[in-house]
Chain A
Amino acid sequence: DAKTTQPTSMDCAEGRAANLPCNHSTISGNEYVYWYRQIHSQGPQYIIHGLKNNETNEMASLIITEDRKSSTLILPHATLRDTAVYYCIVRVEGGGNKLTFGTGTQLKVEL
């Protein structure tokens, strides 16, 4: 599976959009990008995933660059409850359901 690189930490003001970047420059054509978050050592929570097209759901939007070498998770109106570690994960199609979590980005949402 392709390796991902994320900033160690980011800050965001409450009510503003939080844009979390992820670099996956060695991604292959059949590898999906998944995002999870983990709030204070609770079990991680699935957020969103995509292959080529941008995706949006009730939690967030995922923007994948045309060359697929990077992506951005967007939380449109961050709240204090969005403070968490955000993991960007690449999974190969047909590679089973195993996910490898890296170190992620610690997002701190402040007043």
Chain B
Amino acid sequence: EADIYQTPRYLVIGTGKKITLECSQTMGHDKMYWYQQDPGMELHLIHYSYGVNSTEKGDLSSESTVSRIRTEHFPLTLESARPSHTSQYLCASSELAGELFFGEGSRLTVL
């Protein structure tokens, strides 16, 4: 059973607000990822980290930022939310190459 948690599960917020999506895993995995997925569409990698103090941008350009200060924690921040940021954000972690464990996702709606 994967132990990776995302909060909040659902968030409705106004334009211009700062938001942070939390992602935590208790498996001690070094590698963590953020994917973005619009309803019925493909998942797109927006950020990843291969360890503490390591972060990289993914294949899809995103205005969000991430940090990795602790192994178990990989939060994603939007400084000023806009309606175009409305989407589902999925966090994942892995130890073995290619075997990712995903959280349940955070569904963000920006009004």
> What is A's interface to B at a CB cutoff of 8 Å?
32, 34, 36, 41-46, 49, 89, 91, 93, 96-103
Contacts and interface: CB of A to CB of B under 8 A. Distances in A.
A49 B90 CA distance: 21
Given A41-B88, A43-B90, A103-B42, A49 B98 contact: yes
A101 B45 CA distance: 9
A97 B42 contact: no
A46 B39 contact: no
B100 A42 contact: no
Contacts of A91: 97-98
Contacts of B35: 101
A14 B41 CA distance: 26
Among A98, A100, A103, residue most surrounded by chain B Cβ atoms (within 10 Å): A98
Nearest to A36: B100
A36 B59 CA distance: 19
23 contacts: A32-B98, A34-B98, A36-B100, A41-B88, A41-B105, A43-B90, A43-B92, A43-B102, A43-B104, A44-B43, A44-B102, A45-B102, A46-B99, A46-B100, A46-B101, A91-B97, A91-B98, A96-B50, A97-B31, A97-B98, A97-B100, A98-B59, A100-B59
A45 B105 CA distance: 12
Contacts of A98: 33, 45, 48, 58-59
A101 B98 contact: no
A101 B42 contact: yes
A111 to B, nearest CB: 24
Interface string B43-54: 101001010000
Given A44-B43, A49-B99, A97-B50, 10 more contacts: A41-B37, A41-B88, A41-B105, A43-B92, A44-B90, A44-B92, A98-B33, A98-B48, A99-B98, A99-B100
